[in-house]
Amino acid sequence: EIWEFLHGHLQSIFTKDVATYKATTAEDLSLYEWFITPHRQDGLDFHLFMIDHTWAGTASDFRYDLWEPRVQIYGEGTGVITAVVSYTFMLSMATEAGIQHRSHNESRVLVKDAAGWKVAHVHKSPAWRAPHEPSE
């Protein structure tokens, strides 16, 4: 159930399905995307803008893979269930220049209440050994 939900959420991002993205994302979303800014982003407005403008570069043929997926579930049997999913995300895109790949590590915190699952927090980090200090 969790992975099926997550795949629907991720597909909405890459296919510009704003309605599904809104339905699967908490309004008070918080996230860290190291490749965009070193600061936390809050709310949906920024990502709705990015989705509308095909930020992921997936206007062409694409696929994604989740490597080493892991799920941790907390609060089963209570009114609210929390799941932490983590994986290495790889996006492959077929372009005129050939197939391109991008990857990063990702954790998402999902919360389920009577209305269903929603993504409440996202944290992305490099899939390669990053320096502890910024380059000069």
User: What domains appear along the chain, each with residue ranges and CATH number?
Assistant: 2-126 (3.10.450.50)
3-class secondary structure, 5:
helix
Write down the pLDDT at residue 135: 65
Q: Quick one: which H or E segment has residue 42? A: strand 41-42
> How does 12-27 read in b/e, with b if 16+ C-beta sit within 10 Å?
bbbebbeeebeebbbe
Write down the pLDDT at residue 132: 67
- Closest C-alpha to 87, from 108, 65, 105: 105
Predicted confidence band of residue 7 (pLDDT cuts 50, 70, 90) = very high
Give, as one character, the DSSP assignment of residue 74.
E
The structure's pTM equals 0.86
Q: Which amino acid makes up residue 7?
A: H
